[in-house]
Structure 1
């Protein structure tokens, strides 16, 4: 697997652990439907939350939330619709973005954008 894929998977695990520490419940990870993948599917306060995780080793090229374009959003919504259908989810949902940032010293920081799009 390519190094950037390894970093992405590690970032997803770090984000999942961080969200769990905040009281979120991890329901699924790397859920795939056709050409779309949802990194994390969480539950929090009775709400189903679809999380896109973006890793950055700095902000020189921009922040994580800037890399979720309209095409990616459409794919995420389609995959979320399928997950909702498969699980007969009848309550509220939300789409979040979690940016995972690692600085030169190896320190990891998170930026959480709740209700980032729909």
Structure 2
């Protein structure tokens, strides 16, 4: 039996499909970034303050990456709202504070757009 907060079955199925699509996009983005020479340090890093889809590193540079699966690049970039940026920045502060070398690392915030029928598009320093 479903609880009252679960919503109609169609909404739950739609949400589950979107979640699966998002996870698949994150794996594609991670593979693409590894091919570009980055190391994936974490996927779906969660804190009370926010979540980061991917944390990647190349040398002393760490990038906190938001992955968006959309039909167009512009839609992917537009989908990273100010609120989402704030939550990602807050979560990154937690991650950095938990690392011994956190104060010595350079970091930035990237977006990867996963588009149908195309290779992922990496936007370094997107926000």
- For the criterion TM > 0.5, the same-fold answer is yes
SS of residue matched to 1:16: helix
SS at match of 1:51: strand
Superposition map of 1:27-106 within 5 A = 27-56=41-70, 58-59=71-72, 62-88=74-100, 89=102, 90-102=104-116
TM-score by length of 2: 0.82
Please give the per-residue CA displacement for 1:27-57, whole angstroms capped at 9, x wherever unaligned.
Answer: 011000115110000001320110000001x
Which structure has more strand as a fraction of its residues? 1
SS in structure 2 of the partner of residue 79 of structure 1: helix
- Identify the match of residue 10 of structure 1 among 13, 24, 43: 24
- Counterpart secondary structure, 1:4: helix
Once the two structures are superposed, residues 66-110 of structure 1 have per-residue CA deviations (whole angstroms, 9 ceiling, x without a partner) of: 1101110110000000000011312110100000001xxxx2322
Structure label with greater radius of gyration: 2
Query: Root-mean-square deviation (CA), in Å?
Result: 1.6
* Unpaired segments ≥5 residues, structure 2: 1-14
Higher helix share: 2
- Structure 1: unaligned runs, 5 residues or longer: none
TM-score by length of 1: 0.88
Instruction: Detail structure 1 runs of 4+ shifted over 2 Å in the superposition.
Output: none
